[in-house]
């Protein structure tokens, strides 16, 4: 079972690569790339087992499509409020050192000081 898609990049057929040349003699054209679905074992398959690379031959075509249709794409799932992820912020003090040079650059002094380390920790939540 082999299914194909035409690349959805709006400018795909204008890229001057030999892989796009079709026709013979004086009737040659640059044609949109034909993509075999699942041509690689993509890492990005979503819930529906579909990859964006089943629809775009390369990143340039993907970005051209997004640029052209951005308003429509965003309208599919508009974000009207910020999302938030619960976290814990832990601050811990620890002994560290810095070098002070003073006037003698060839002999820096190692000086201890109290440093603070800030760590963001995940919080278990049921909101998934
Ligand atoms: Zn393309």
pLDDT, one tens digit per residue, over 85-128 is 999 999 999 999 999 988 877 888 999 999 999 999 999 866 54
> Nearest to residue 87, comparing CAs of 124, 126, 122?
122
Contacts of 2 (CB under 8 A, 6+ apart): 36, 37
Residue 45 scores a pLDDT above 80: no
Cα–Cα–Cα angle for 92, 97, 99, rounded to 5 degrees: 145
Structure tokens at 66: 């997004």
Q: Is the dihedral of CA 89, 94, 100, 106 positive or negative?
A: negative
Q: Separation of 9 CA from ligand 1 center, angstroms?
A: 5
Largest CA distance in the chain: 79
Distance (Å) from CA 45 to ligand 1 centroid: 19
- State the distance from the centre of ligand 1 to the C-alpha of 32, rounded, in angstroms: 6
Q: Which residue has the higher pLDDT, 46 or 16?
A: 16
What pTM value is reported for the model? 0.69
Q: How far is the CA of 16 from the centre of ligand 1 (A)?
A: 11
Q: What is the pLDDT of residue 126?
A: 60
* Cα–Cα distance, 18 to 36 (Å, whole number): 18
> Coil, helix or strand for 17?
coil
The answer to whether 51 and 45 have CB atoms below 8 angstroms apart is yes
Q: How far apart are the first and last CA of the chain?
A: 37
């Amino acid at each position: 079972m082999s299914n194909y898609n035409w690349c959805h990049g709006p400018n795909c057929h204008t890229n001057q690569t030999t892989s796009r040349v079709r026709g013979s003699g004086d009737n040659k054209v640059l044609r949109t790339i034909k993509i075999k679905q699942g041509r690689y074992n993509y890492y990005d398959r979503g819930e529906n087992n579909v990859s964006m690379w089943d629809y775009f031959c390369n990143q340039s075509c993907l970005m051209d499509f997004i640029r052209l249709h951005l308003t429509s794409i965003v309208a599919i799932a508009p974000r009207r409020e910020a999302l938030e992820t619960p976290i814990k912020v832990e601050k811990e003090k620890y002994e560290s050192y810095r070098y002070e040079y003073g006037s003698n650059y060839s002999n820096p002094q190692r000086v201890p000081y109290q440093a603070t380390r800030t760590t963001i920790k995940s919080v278990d939540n049921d909101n998934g």
